[in-house]
Amino acid sequence: MFESSLGEKIAYLYKDIDQKIHRIDSIIERLELIPLTNAAAPMATQENIPHRPPAKTNKVFVVHGHDEIAKTNLEVFLHEIGLEPVVLHRQADEGLTIIEKFEKYSDVGYAFILLTPDEISYIKADESKDDDARQKEYRARPNVIFEFGYFIGKLGRSRVCCLYTGDVSLPGDVSGMIYKKFANSIEEVAYSIIKDLKASGYAIA
């Protein structure tokens, strides 16, 4: 085979450049058809958010079950570090339904979920078995799990702190959550809690 002459190479190069220019022109024409709305912007994720802005409030919501000691312990701790814990049953009813009251007072920048072993459950297949033979599971109250999911959806995982004690079952479908276990007192995980609050923009006393 004979090598292409210099003239043929130059002609081929011009043709290649011309084709690329036509492709660019075609792309530019189609760009005008794409609406420049917020929907076209990349979705914000916890990975691409560089930092958290300062919290606009010192209020934090406390979701709890039947363990009054753990709830009170958490409230006292939050007061001590300069925050205002919002506990639903301590707020005025104002003729609101439970869900209306919850929505009204959930306007916070951070939420604490207390998972305590309040209920015992077993699968229906074990219903006919003796009590000792049933495979039991200690669970938090259903409303606690509901409010747990609510706050993850509203605030994001990084602004929800899940504290648990005892052998309570943890939700298996909430990936990426960090659970903090304590045995007797919230003080056991105080440093970790304060670190997370500061990362979320809270000024801690």
pLDDT at 132: 75
pTM of the predicted protein model: 0.68
* Residue matched to tokens 């009251």: 101
Structure tokens at 184: 């007797």
**How do residues 25-58 score in pLDDT, each as one tens digit?**
555 555 544 554 544 445 545 444 444 454 567 8
Cα-to-chain-centroid distance, residue 95? 31
The set of residues, in sequence order, having a beta carbon less than 8 Å from that of 4 and lying 6+ positions away, is 12
| DSSP letter assigned to residue 150 | H
pLDDT at 136 over 50: yes
Share of the chain above pLDDT 90, in %: 30
pLDDT at 1: 47
| DSSP letter assigned to residue 169 | P
